[in-house]
């Protein structure tokens, strides 16, 4: 068969291979998908009458902080992690909804399932955001922009909420892009334009540049990413120490970190910020028991056990101390976690100041099936664990807090005061019980 056209002129006698279609921006194959006001969005699925109104998710009393705010509330200056008292002064007309974390976990699980239909390379950062490397999905699903648009459509159709998607050649730039197109948008930064785009941004856009670093750099006349890029590396190292080279590299778009599908969780835990500073021993023990049950349940749910138990105390002057103890046998029982935490609390002796916060963490995690367990004739620990597994089953069927230890039940009002009582208030309700592994959005 005679060859015709320009293809024939490329080389007589050579077998020609079909040309693959050019995929736009195939080198920008990292996506950062971030849900818009996630907690609020999930709550509005059940309360559509609040759509378009200022809404805040958080506990309304004490030292609680804003866990999530609708964009209508944000117009008044409300931001996540802001004290609720400040948020209510800024936006007194806002509707406050107390969080129900089980709902957010359920929607998050469905969200991650959507991501994994696109690619196996999914790196969750929290319940509502993740990095995706879609390089291997391009031939099947189209360009990165087409994939990003399809993900947004699927999230809206299946979950009823919206997401913003940043697309770039690196994780760092993809995350910047998703933040810049919120809410409900998509922004692609072509690989060839990465440096030019970064150099239009203020210096605080760089990872690792917080308020203190901004002040240090301002004294050197450095205010933008372009200023950082134009500053000699030795100067950056002298100004910022070990992070100077990292910040300088980012200013040139250098971020070689791959999307890592599995991140080993090195610890699990929880902490409570009290409504008022306290030295009430009974209250401290009650809170440790609550935190131990929360941590124990998370350990069992993840199939892990802990070799180390850590106690954290923050005093009224914001000074913080931690104590930890490594055990001979790994554990996942709330009662054993509680016993170790109380023992460490007792060994600290008298406290110089009242406490603002108490926390408990399980560290040195390993898979329960691979851990070496010590056999014992003592049945007490096993009995506790069996009871806690039964609690897990009840919670899974009827929702968390359906069944709790008697010591965690709200105290009944004294006789004669029932008419005055309001809904029971849990002492020291957590200000920080928000998104796991992430600051409030």
Q: pLDDT above 90 covers what percent of the chain? A: 59
Residue ranges of domains in the chain, CATH in brackets: 24-190 (3.30.70.270), 199-251 (1.10.150.20), 267-408 (3.30.1490.100)
Please say whether the beta carbons of 48 and 261 come within 8 A.
no
Q: Which of 129, 287, 388, 441 is catalytic?
A: 129
Given this model, what pLDDT does residue 288 score?
95
The pTM of the full predicted model, rounded to 2 decimals, is 0.65
pLDDT tens, residue by residue, 338-356: 999 999 999 998 888 999 9
Backbone angles phi, psi at 394, to 5 degrees: -65, -45
To the nearest whole number, what is the mean pLDDT of the chain? Answer: 83
Mean pLDDT for 79-106 is 91
pLDDT at 160 over 50: yes
Which range among 182-186, 287-291, 430-434 shows the weakest confidence by mean pLDDT?
430-434
**Which position has the higher pLDDT, 330 or 409?**
330
pLDDT tens figures, 165-174: 999 999 999 9
Q: Which of 12-26, 52-66, 305-319 has the lowest mean pLDDT?
A: 12-26
The DSSP element (H or E) to which 96 belongs, if any, is strand 95-97
pLDDT in tens, 390-415: 665 656 555 555 555 656 656 554 44
Three-class secondary structure of residue 329 per DSSP: strand
Task: Please check the confidence at residue 60 and state whether its pLDDT lies above 90.
Answer: no
Residue pair 182/203 in contact (Cβ under 8 Å)? The answer is no
Q: Are 122 and 131 in contact (CB under 8 A)?
A: yes
Q: Which of the four pLDDT bands, split at 50, 70 and 90, describes residue 18?
A: low
* 3 state DSSP class of 431: coil
Answer yes or no: is pLDDT of 48 > 80.
Answer: yes
Catalytic residue at 129? yes
What are the residues whose beta carbons fall under 8 Å from the beta carbon of 253, sequence distance 6 or more?
A: 169, 170, 172, 173, 194, 195, 198
**pLDDT over 50 (residue 422):** no
7 versus 249: which is more confidently predicted? 249
Q: Which pLDDT band, with edges at 50, 70 and 90, does 119 fall under?
A: very high
Q: How confident is the model at residue 96 (pLDDT cuts 50, 70, 90)?
A: very high
């Amino acid at each position: 068969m005679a060859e015709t056209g320009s293809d024939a002129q490329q080389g007589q006698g050579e077998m020609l291979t079909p040309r693959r279609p050019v995929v736009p921006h195939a080198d920008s194959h990292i996506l950062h998908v971030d849900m818009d006001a996630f907690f609020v969005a999930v709550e509005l699925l059940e309360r559509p009458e609040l759509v378009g109104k200022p809404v805040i998710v958080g506990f309304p009393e004490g030292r609680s902080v804003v866990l999530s705010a609708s964009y209508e509330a944000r117009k008044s200056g409300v931001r996540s992690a802001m004290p609720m008292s400040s948020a209510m002064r800024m936006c007194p007309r806002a509707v406050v909804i107390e969080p129900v974390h089980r709902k957010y976990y359920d929607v998050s699980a469905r969200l991650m399932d959507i991501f994994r239909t696109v690619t196996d390379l999914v790196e969750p950062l929290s319940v509502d955001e993740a990095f995706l490397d879609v390089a291997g999905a391009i031939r099947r699903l189209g360009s990165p922009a087409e994939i990003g648009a399809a993900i947004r459509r699927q999230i809206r159709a299946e979950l009823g909420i919206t997401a913003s998607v940043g697309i770039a050649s690196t994780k760092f730039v993809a995350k910047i892009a998703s933040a810049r197109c919120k809410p409900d948008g998509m922004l692609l930064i072509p690989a060839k334009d990465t440096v030019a785009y970064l150099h239009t941004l203020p210096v605080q856009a760089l990872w690792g540049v917080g308020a203190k670093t901004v002040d240090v750099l301002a004294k050197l006349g450095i205010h933008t990413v372009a200023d950082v890029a134009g500053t000699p590396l030795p100067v950056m190292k002298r100004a910022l120490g070990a992070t100077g080279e990292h910040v300088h590299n980012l200013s040139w778009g250098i971020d070689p970190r791959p999307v890592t599908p599995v991140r080993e969780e090195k610890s699990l835990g929880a902490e409570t910020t009290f409504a008022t500073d306290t030295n009430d021993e009974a209250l401290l023990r009650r809170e440790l028991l609550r935190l131990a049950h929360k941590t124990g349940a998370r350990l069992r749910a993840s199939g892990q056990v802990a070799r180390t138990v850590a106690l954290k105390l923050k005093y009224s002057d914001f000074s913080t101390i931690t104590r930890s103890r490594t055990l001979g046998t790994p554990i996942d029982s709330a009662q054993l976690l509680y016993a170790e935490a109380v023992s460490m609390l007792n060994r600290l002796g008298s406290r110089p100041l009242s406490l603002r916060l108490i926390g408990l963490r399980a560290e040195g995690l390993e898979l329960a099936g691979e851990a070496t367990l010590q056999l014992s004739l003592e049945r007490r620990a096993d009995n506790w664990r069996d009871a806690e597994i039964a609690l897990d089953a009840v919670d899974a069927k009827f929702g968390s807090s359906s069944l709790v230890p008697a010591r965690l039940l709200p105290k009944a009002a004294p006789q004669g005061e029932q008419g005055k009582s309001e809904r029971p208030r849990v002492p020291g309700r957590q200000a920080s019980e928000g998104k796991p592994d992430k600051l409030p959005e």
